[in-house]
Amino acid sequence: MRIKYEDEAKLDLLGIRDYYRDVGGNQLAMRMIKQIRSEINALLTYQAPAYELVPGIRRLVVAKGAFLALHRINETQSVVEVIHVRRSERESASEKDLK
């Protein structure tokens, strides 16, 4: 199994990095991204719960509850596909957000 970040998730992480760089500097930004990626890497050995609003999608709470990593498991390719990383207090993601 390996982790693959879809383009949307990559853009999300860049946005998170930029935000934390603006509010706390480069060191804080890099620490936050490292923490998020580290927790996402746990998906190689842990199966997160299903995301009840979108069939086939799972969600992992990361960074002490600040973010959700929405992903799917592609068994045929042995890949965890990270689709979206978003602040957890935003509105719930819908199917159209995850296409």
CA 16, CA 73: separation in Å to the nearest integer? Answer: 24
pLDDT of residue 37: 97
Average of per-residue pLDDT across 42-54 = 92
Stated pTM of the model: 0.86
Number of CB atoms found within 10 A of residue 26's CB: 10
Residue 93 has pLDDT above 90, yes or no: no
- Domain definitions of the chain by residue range: 2-98
- Grouping H, G, I as helix, E, B as strand and the rest as coil, residue 51 is coil
CATH 3.30.2310.20 fits 2-98, yes or no: yes
pLDDT of residue 88: 83
Burial class (CB in 10 A: 0-12, 13-18, 19+), 51: buried
